[in-house]
Structure 1
Amino acid sequence: MGIVQAQAIMSLDGYIAKPDNTIGSLFDWLQNGEVAVPTPAGDFTVHLSAASAQHWRQWTSSLGALVCGRTLFDVAEGWQGRHTLDVPIVVVTHQIPADWVEQHPDAPFTFVTDGVASAIGRAKELAGDRVVSVAGGTIARQCLELGLLDEVAIDLVPVVMGEGNRPFFGTLSADEVPLGNPTTCVQGDRVTHLVFPVAH
């Protein structure tokens, strides 16, 4: 099966959102380049630097499934039944949103109520030999603590937020979790793309 990779667009001081859940300038790099790249779902087009465009294409073409938590699912309003990355979605939740499921009968979404490990297992089945991407800091932290992550991918934006209610991993139960040297380091315009292996 493929690898499990936590992914985030993050400020230099580790935040993925401001206190009011807005993202400030974190996503500006998605529209500051000359290379037009449609998203896999074709719902909009990003405009990237040449280096970021190559990295983006490689990353999106490798994906087989996405795991997220209920908070992200709700904030995104379920992506109207089709995620921008156009892959199956596994949502970790305490309660299945029955009304949403009824309204989106053909949506490739699976709702898992028995924990993160079960959700990762289901996502691996869906992804086959492709990458399972974990989105959202809470789910990423749980995966990291459970030893379920193979890689951590960061799109690091050179901005200091100063404060935020969403640090990527948040507070870990362990003192620290060492990662390996980056296997990917791509310099884009106003973003650095990094991928770190997780030691097992």
Structure 2
Amino acid sequence: MMSKLLYSVSMSVDGFIAGPGGDMSWLTEHLGPNPLVDELIGDIGALLVGNRTFRGDDPHKDTEKEGKAFGGGWSGPQFILTHHIPADSPPGITFVGDLATAVAAAKDAAGGKYVNVLGADVARQCLEAGLLDEVLTIVVPVMLGDGVRLFDRPDGAGVRLERVSVSHVPHATNLWYRVTG
């Protein structure tokens, strides 16, 4: 089975995935049990992460879960897309300078499981390159009013999606889509 690229993200009702300046503290009170996410974690083989997301704010700040993917629920290879590759990398983390190389390495490492894309800009780049297969948006009941949008495309061209599933948990609604064009 060929690994697929999945952009999974929590989002406010008004379309923001991070607050102003990349603030993720808004999400902390909305984290809770989500059977869909719990199941998905076992289907992820690698992460493809944008540099700002990798170095950015963490909703688990100042807890034992800080700095851990899915709050410590997942571990495995991570590929960080960046223009500034550091001399040293922490174990399990590979810094990559271009999208095509990063995607190929992440898919290879995922071994047929999902490559989970984290970060709005890297997800947009994957979409632009025709590489993104699916989008899972976990909509939480809050409006931020400003911040980092789920998807921002300056030319305004839309992306067609086909609904795969919709599910609800007390603190969120899960919307899963397949990218069709």
Contact 1:29 1:190 in 2 (8 A): yes
C-alpha distance in structure 1 between counterparts of 2:80 and 2:171, whole Å: 31
What is the aligned partner in structure 1 of residue 95 from structure 2?
111
Equivalent residue pairs, number? 171
Contact 1:9 1:27 in 2 (8 A): no
Deviations 1:97-149 (A, max 9, x none): 22x42xx3xx1111111x21221111000001100000000000110111101
**Identity over the aligned pairs, expressed in percent?**
33
1:12-31 equivalence runs, <5 A: 12-31=13-32
Match of 1:140 among 123, 143, 159: 123
User: Given the two structures, how large is their TM-score scaled by the length of structure 2?
Assistant: 0.85
Match of 1:122 among 105, 114, 118: 105
Match of 2:39 among 32, 35, 58: 58
Contact 1:29 1:189 in 2 (8 A): no
C-alpha distance in structure 2 between counterparts of 1:87 and 1:66, whole Å: 8
Give the letter aligned to residue 148 of structure 1: L
Task: Evaluate the alpha carbon distance shift between residue 173 and residue 87 of structure 1 in structure 2; reply closer, same or farther with a 3 A threshold.
Answer: farther
Deviation at 1:171, TM superposition (A): 2.3
Deviation at 1:21, TM superposition (A): 2.5
Task: Evaluate the alpha carbon distance shift between residue 26 and residue 176 of structure 1 in structure 2; reply closer, same or farther with a 3 A threshold.
Answer: same
Deviation at 1:173, TM superposition (A): 4.0
Give the letter aligned to residue 170 of structure 1: D
Q: CA RMSD in A?
A: 2.2
C-alpha distance in structure 2 between counterparts of 1:193 and 1:81, whole Å: 24
C-alpha distance in structure 2 between counterparts of 1:132 and 1:123, whole Å: 6
What is the aligned partner in structure 1 of residue 62 from structure 2?
none
Deviation at 1:89, TM superposition (A): 0.2
C-alpha distance in structure 1 between counterparts of 2:132 and 2:170, whole Å: 28
Contact 1:67 1:134 in 2 (8 A): yes
Give SS of 1:192's match.
strand
Structure 1 unaligned segments of length 5 or more: list them. Answer: 32-47
Task: Evaluate the alpha carbon distance shift between residue 22 and residue 156 of structure 1 in structure 2; reply closer, same or farther with a 3 A threshold.
Answer: same
Deviation at 1:172, TM superposition (A): 4.6
C-alpha distance in structure 2 between counterparts of 1:75 and 1:24, whole Å: 11
User: Which structure has the larger Rg?
Assistant: 1
Give the letter aligned to residue 167 of structure 1: R
User: Given the two structures, how large is their TM-score scaled by the length of structure 1?
Assistant: 0.78
Give the letter aligned to residue 17 of structure 1: A
Task: Evaluate the alpha carbon distance shift between residue 191 and residue 27 of structure 1 in structure 2; reply closer, same or farther with a 3 A threshold.
Answer: farther
Contact 1:4 1:131 in 2 (8 A): yes
Contact 1:66 1:135 in 2 (8 A): yes
